[in-house]
Amino acid sequence: MEAGDEDRPLLHVHPSSQGATSEYTRDGSVDINKQTALKHSTGKWRACFLIQLVINCLNIMDLGVEFCECMAFFTISKNLVTYLTTVLHESKVTAARNLSAWVGACFFTPLFGGFIADTYWGRYWTIVVFFPLYVVAMVVLIASASLPIFSTSSDHAGSVHRAVVYLGIYLAAIASGGVKPCTSAFGADQFDTNDHAELVTKGSFFSWYFFLISTSSLLSGTVIVWLQDNVGWAVSYVIPTVLMLICFPAFLAGSRVYRFRKMGVSPTTSILQVVVAAVRKWNIKLPDDSSLLYEPTSLPSGTDASYKIEHTNEFRFFDKAAIVSAPSDSESTVPLCSWRLCTVTQVEELKMLLRMSPIWASFVIVYTVDAQMPSTLVEQGMFMDNRVGSFTIPPASMSTIGVISCLVWVPVYEIALVPLARRFTGKEKGFSQAQRLGIGLALSTLTMVYAALLETRRLAVAEASGLRNQDAPVPMSILWQAPLYVVHGAAQVFAGVGATEFFYDQSPETMKSLCAALGQLALASASYMNSLLLSIVAVATTRAGAPGWIPDNLNEGHLDYFFWMMATLSLLNVALFVRYSMRNTVNMAC
C-alpha cells in the first residue's frame, strides 16, 4: 500500500459527510493510479497549464477551432478560401461552401470522440490516442505543399493535388474529433466542484482557456498567414508540426498531476434505456408521489454514491422509466441500468440534455454568423483596398483584429466587468449564464447588421467609381471591416466562453465529454447550415442569367442582401433565446 493510502477514503460520498478542508477531492476524481486525488499534488492550474500547452501546440496548426487544435485550425481555415480560389482555382461560392463543409466535419467528429471518452477510454487516453493523428495529417499537408509533382499544371497533377489536400484536412478533422471534446472538459476536471475555492476558480478557467485559444489564433492570423503568403504553405505547416512533437511529451510528463474522472455506464446506453423503459410503460399512470419512483439508497459496487439528481417535473413522460411496476423491481438484485427499470438519476440525466437543446439550437445560428468570418467577409475584403500606407493587409488577416479584441475583452471581463456586475447581481460569477449568453447573441447580431451596412456602402462606392461591372477592388479601405471584428471579438467572449461553460456545467457528470461535443456539434451544424444557405442563395438568385447575390465578381452582386438575411435570423434567434431563458430562470440562473 502506498504512503497515505490508509487515510484515503474508500468511497467517495456526499460532500456533507466530509470536512470542508479535506486533503482529498470530493467530486469523485482520481489520480493516474486510480486513487482518490490529493488536492495539494494534483489538478488546478498546474495541470491545466500542461493541458493548454499541448492545446497551444495544436492551435498553431489551425485544424480545429477549439483550444487543442486552434492554431492548427486557423493555419488552414483563416486562409483556406484564398488557397482554394487561387491555388485549386475553385469559385468563390464553391470555396466558401467547401470551407463550411470541412469546418462542419471538424466539429461533427467530436460527437464520436466524446462518446469514446465518456464510455471507453476516458478524456486523457482519448487525447493521447488521437493527438498523433494530427502529426500524420500535417505531414500529408506538408507533402501536398512541397512535392514537385503537385506544382505541375497538368489536369492529372491538379486532381491528385486536390485529393491530397482534402485528405490532409479531413484526417485533421478526424483527429480533432478525438481531442477537441476532451480538452476543455479535462481541464475543468482539474477543479473540485465540491470545494468552494476551486469551484470559483473553475469559473475563470473557461475565460482564460478561451484567452489562450485567442492567442493561438492571433499567431495563426499574423505569423502563419504571412508565411503562407510570402514564404510558402509548406513552411507554415512545418512549424506547428514541430511544436506538436515538442509539446506532446510535455503533456505526457504531467500525467501524475492530473485528476481523472471514474468511468461509468455508457451515457448513450443510459439514455436509450430511459427511452425504451418509458415507452414500454407508456400506458402506466405515474404516481402522484415522486418518491415512489425508483432510486435505490444503496448502489452497486464501483458507483459514486454521491451522484444523485433530484427529481423535476418537466418531461414527465420519461418518469415512467422509473415506475416500479412489479414487486421484484425494487429488490437490490435488480441491475441499476435496465431496459425495463431506470433510476430517477438516469431519467434526470436525459431531462438535462433535453433542457440544453433550445440553447444548443440558438448557438447553431450564432456559429452560422461566425462562419462568415473566414468565408464571405474574407471575400468582401478581397474587393476592398487592402493597402495601409506601405503595407498590404491580406483579407484573411483582418480576423486578427477580432482575436486582439478577444484578448482585450477576456481580462476586462474577468477583472472589471465581473466584479462590477457582482455588486448588482450578488452572483459569484457576476452575470448569470442567461445574461452572458444573451449579451453575446445580441453582439453577434450587430456584426451582421454592420456587415450589411458596410457592403451597401461598398457597392455604392463601386457604382460611383464605375467599377460595378469590373472584377477589381473598390477605393474603400479594408479597415472599415475593423469595427465588425472588434464587436465580434466581444461577442466571442460573452457567447463563446459562455457556451463552453454552459455545456460543461449543465451536463450530467457522466456525460461531460459528450456534452462538450454537443457544443462542437452546434459548430458543425452551423457550418453545414451556412453551406446550405449559400447553396440555396446561389440557386435562387442566379436564375435567368442573373449574377446572383454572391457572384465571383462581388461588385456585380448583392452580398449585402445575404448579410441582411443573416441579421434577421440572428435577431429572431435573440428573441427566442430571451423567451426561453425567461421561462427557465432556474436552469439558466447559475
Question: What confidence tens digit (pLDDT) does each residue in 533-569 have?
Answer: 988 998 899 887 788 899 888 999 999 999 999 999 9
Helix (H) and strand (E) counts for the chain?
Answer: 19, 6
The amino acid sitting at 56 is N
Are 258 and 271 part of one and the same domain?
no
CB 485 within 8 A of CB 399: yes
Please report where in the chains the cell 474577468 appears, as a residue.
414
- For 392-414, the DSSP string reads E--GGGGHHHHHHHHHHHHHIII
Are 328 and 384 part of one and the same domain?
no
C-alpha 103 chain-centroid distance: 11
How far apart CA 588 and CA 590 sit, in angstroms, is 6
Q: Would you say residue 250 has pLDDT above 90? A: no
Are 212 and 299 part of one and the same domain?
no
Question: Is residue 8 in a domain?
Answer: no
Domain containing 297 equals 267-342
Whole-number pLDDT of residue 19: 42
C-alpha cell at 124: 486523457
Are 539 and 404 part of one and the same domain?
yes
Are 316 and 393 part of one and the same domain?
no
Under DSSP, the state recorded for 343 is: -
Question: Is residue 338 in a domain?
Answer: yes
Nearest-CA neighbor of 508 among 120, 197, 114?
114
Under DSSP, the state recorded for 292 is: G
Helix residue ranges, H only, 189-315: 196-219, 225-230, 233-253, 267-280
Whole-number pLDDT of residue 39: 54
How far apart CA 123 and CA 280 sit, in angstroms, is 34
Question: Is residue 1 in a domain?
Answer: no
**Helix crossing, 433-464 with 559-583: angle to 10°?**
170
Of 318, 342, 366, which residue sits at a domain end? 342
Are 307 and 398 part of one and the same domain?
no
How far apart CA 242 and CA 247 sit, in angstroms, is 9
Question: Is residue 16 in a domain?
Answer: no
How large is the C-alpha radius of gyration of the chain?
26
Question: Is residue 200 in a domain?
Answer: yes
Are 315 and 450 part of one and the same domain?
no
When pLDDT is cut at 50, 70 and 90, the band that residue 3 belongs to is very low
Question: Is residue 278 in a domain?
Answer: yes
C-alpha cell at 490: 466581444
Highest mean pLDDT among 107-116, 189-198, 571-580: 571-580
Q: Would you say residue 338 has pLDDT above 60? A: yes
How far apart CA 369 and CA 431 sit, in angstroms, is 24
Are 238 and 297 part of one and the same domain?
no
When pLDDT is cut at 50, 70 and 90, the band that residue 75 belongs to is confident
Residue 337 vs residue 356, higher pLDDT = 356
Whole-number pLDDT of residue 461: 94
Of 285, 309, 342, which residue sits at a domain end? 342
Q: Would you say residue 302 has pLDDT above 50? A: no
Are 309 and 236 part of one and the same domain?
no
Buried b (16+ CB within 10 A) or exposed e, 497-521: bbbbbbbbbbbbbbbbbbbbbbbbb
Residue 403 vs residue 351, higher pLDDT = 351
Question: What confidence tens digit (pLDDT) does each residue in 122-140 have?
Answer: 888 888 889 889 889 989 9
C-alpha cell at 223: 505569423
3-class DSSP state of 282: coil
> How are beta strands 391-392 and 387-388 bridged, if at all?
antiparallel
Whole-number pLDDT of residue 568: 96
Q: Would you say residue 471 has pLDDT above 80? A: yes
Are 527 and 395 part of one and the same domain?
yes
Please report where in the chains the cell 444557405 appears, as a residue.
533
Question: What confidence tens digit (pLDDT) does each residue in 10-61 have?
Answer: 333 344 444 445 665 655 555 555 556 555 555 444 445 444 444 444 333 3
CB 98 within 8 A of CB 535: no
Of 342, 368, 396, which residue sits at a domain end? 342
**Helix crossing, 155-188 with 92-108: angle to 10°?**
40
How far apart CA 37 and CA 255 sit, in angstroms, is 13
Whole-number pLDDT of residue 28: 55
Please report where in the chains the cell 483579407 appears, as a residue.
395
Mean pLDDT for 248-259 is 77
Q: Which pTM does this prediction carry?
A: 0.70
C-alpha cell at 400: 486578427
Q: What is the mean pLDDT of the chain?
A: 78
Nearest-CA neighbor of 106 among 175, 194, 54?
175
Question: Is residue 277 in a domain?
Answer: yes
How far apart CA 76 and CA 98 sit, in angstroms, is 13
Nearest-CA neighbor of 73 among 346, 469, 371, 314?
371
Count the domains in the chain.
2
